[in-house]
Chain A
Amino acid sequence: MTARAQAAPRTVAAQRGGSPLEAIAVHAAFVAAILFFLAPFFWLFTAAFDADAAAYIRLPSRFTFDNFVRIFAELGFANALRNSLLVATATMVLNVVAVSLAGYSLSRMRLRAKSAILYGVLLLQTMPLSATMVPIYGLARTLGLRNSYLGLILIHAAIELPFLVWLMKGFFDSVPRHLEEAAWLDGRSKLRALWEVVVPVARPGIGVVAGLSFLTAWAEVLMVIILIDKQDMKTVPLAFYETFRTQGGYTEVQYGLVAAMGVLYLIPVMTIFFATRRLMVRGLISSSRGL
């Protein structure tokens, strides 16, 4: 809720230069940091295309697409992809609707308890999933939400919901009220005025809601592990988790297969994230929760 980076005017040009020693030290530090943070990814992308992938970083012994072919042919990855796309898209749509309605209503509502409600919403955001997973499992079992896409969609939508509502309320606060009041005078209903007049103005906020909701549902694995145990219902994270448990590290080592799955699991995240980097960084920072 903090990194409001108002870039202060700065005189960059005036500060160029510095001693060569300083330049060398700073660049050496950057190279070390880049090595530390990128090396694991370098391994992932080389192992995925290696006909005989090993656990260590090297260029592929023989370049191949075989690993990708095999995860589709032998491990039913197409099914997992389809399930994941379905769940993530539905989560995104549900959240855009629920969050817009709630954020707008909270923004326009005049209620004495409003600040207490917003405070409570922020408190909810800090609850760790790892603390609620046992109760969520119990509740889902009681309500029949296990092995159900509805259950998965609802819970994935809920994960970032408190933060997203709070974020959208802020966006709607900055949309002037006379916009929707003019639309009401034209005879439009409240809902239509919201959809046709207010939401388009708050488009950047809606973009963050859609992007973060999709990514959360795409990447999250804890809830999938406790909610889904039917083979044909598994999503990409669960497929990756199971392949990793059976093919990588622990038993028979087939790093190439796991890495290939990892690449396909990672690429949508990287694409969406880096395409909308500024907005998403601000969003994720404020939610103070990774994927």
Chain B
Amino acid sequence: MLARDRAYVAGVLPAAAMLSLFFIGPALWAMYTSLTNLALVGLDAANPRFVGLDNYIRLFGDPDFRVVIRNSVVFVIGSAVIGQFALGLGLALLIDHAERRGWKLGAVAYAAVLLAWVNPTLIAGFLWVAMFDFFFGSLNMALKALGAGPVDWLGSFPMLAVIVANIWRGTAFTMIIFIGALRTIPSDIYEAARVDGANAWRRFWDHTLPNLRPIAALTLLSITMSTFGAFILVQTLTNGGPGIATETIALYAFHTAFQSYSIGYGSAIAAVMLGLNLAFAVVYLRWSRARA
């Protein structure tokens, strides 16, 4: 190694130390701790025992965990794969269309969607707690004005409520990516198709969609990962309830560790989460490399 390369290694060190401490370290810690019965308080807090794979065996026999996995899948499919993706794609197409037509309202819609995305998640949670409020929330007040009865959104339809809030929060990501992709489709393709007599629907089907397909796959994976890890929004809205109706895997790890005081068991859940996420991430990086 040349002397100049040694200086570069030194330059990488501070960042590498931070990454080791807060990414690699916690992952290793979770894997190790998941093999123990470490507790937050009590006897097992001071003297944790090595219990082998007990936590994992318990996890896969845990009926609550099955519900939690199902909740996570419903939440991810409902809010990301269907909600954010469809709404984001629709808005991108409309905004791109409005731009080509010279209509101004598209830019306002763009800013509104963006604002819902950049505001802190905690505020998003609070805003939707108010929107869904049973007695005086905006949604029920609007229903009342229409002569319909109040709906207990967070009690009767908790999963729908967190899905709506997460769609509101995350649609911008998909929208921005598709607007970018639409801009790279040159206008003359459409001109040529128009000259050939293709109607708007044919032009969309034959030219727009095929151009969006590769980026769509990446976007789907990306929003799946970020929704899978969503925590604060669900925690502020329902905290996993009522019962465990909206308890996703991220909340289950948190509640197990900090409310049931079982750090060892909570770490096993975290380790499963990290494993699933790693699988998604590897696929994601492979696909995005194939594109680059």
Chain A residues close to B by CB (< 8 Å): 1-18, 23, 26-27, 29-31, 33-34, 36-41, 43-44, 47, 54-57, 97-99, 101-102, 104-106, 108-111, 119, 121-124, 126-139, 154-155, 157-159, 161-162, 165, 190, 218-222, 226, 237, 240-241, 244, 248-249, 255, 258, 262, 265-266, 269-270, 273, 280-281, 284-285, 288-291
B165 to A: closest C-beta gap in Å: 9
Question: A221 touching B131 by the CB < 8 A rule?
Answer: no
Q: Is B155 an interface residue (CB 8 A)?
A: no
Q: Does B30 have its Cβ within 8 Å of any Cβ on chain A?
A: yes
**Given A7-B183, A40-B128, A162-B19: A26 in contact with B103 (beta carbons within 8 A):** yes
What would be 26 A-B contacts, judged by CB atoms less than 8 Å apart?
A: A8-B187, A12-B100, A12-B102, A26-B103, A27-B103, A31-B105, A34-B108, A37-B113, A40-B116, A43-B138, A44-B123, A98-B15, A101-B14, A102-B12, A102-B14, A105-B8, A108-B8, A130-B250, A135-B26, A154-B22, A190-B4, A222-B231, A240-B123, A244-B236, A269-B120, A285-B173
Question: Given the complex, which residues of A lie within 8 Å of B14, measured CB to CB?
Answer: 97-98, 101-102
Is B25 at the interface (CB under 8 A from chain A)?
Answer: yes
Known: A23-B103, A30-B106. A139 touches B26 (CB 8 A): yes
A-B contact count (CB 8 A): 323
Q: Are B19 and A11 in contact (CB under 8 A)?
A: no
CB contacts under 8 Å to A, within B276-291, are 277-278, 280-282, 284-285, 288, 291
Evaluate contact between A55 and B130: CB separation under 8 angstroms.
yes
Residues B159-217 near A (CB distance < 8 A): 168-170, 173, 176-177, 179-181, 183-187, 191, 215
The interface bits of chain B over 14-46 (1 if a CB of A lies within 8 angstroms of the residue's CB, else 0) are 111011011111110110010000100000000
Give which listed residue, A40, A97, A133, A288, contacts B173 with CB less than 8 A. Answer: A288
Given A2-B215, A5-B179, A269-B120; A128-B136 close (CB under 8 Å): no
B20 CB, min distance to chain A CBs, angstroms? 10
* Chain B contacts to A: CB under 8 angstroms: 2, 4-5, 7-12, 14-16, 18-19, 21-27, 29-30, 33, 38, 90-91, 94, 97-103, 105-106, 108-109, 112-124, 126-131, 133, 135-138, 140-141, 168-170, 173, 176-177, 179-181, 183-187, 191, 215, 218-219, 222, 225-226, 228-232, 236, 250, 253-254, 257-258, 263, 266-267, 270, 273-274, 277-278, 280-282, 284-285, 288, 291
B179 to chain A, nearest CB (A): 7
Binding site of A, secondary structure by majority: helix, strand, loop or mixed?
Answer: helix
Contact B184 A5 (CB under 8 A): yes
Determine if A127 and B277 form an interchain contact, defined as CB atoms under 8 angstroms apart: yes
B113 to chain A, nearest CB (A): 5
Q: How far is the CB of A93 from chain B (nearest CB, A)?
A: 13
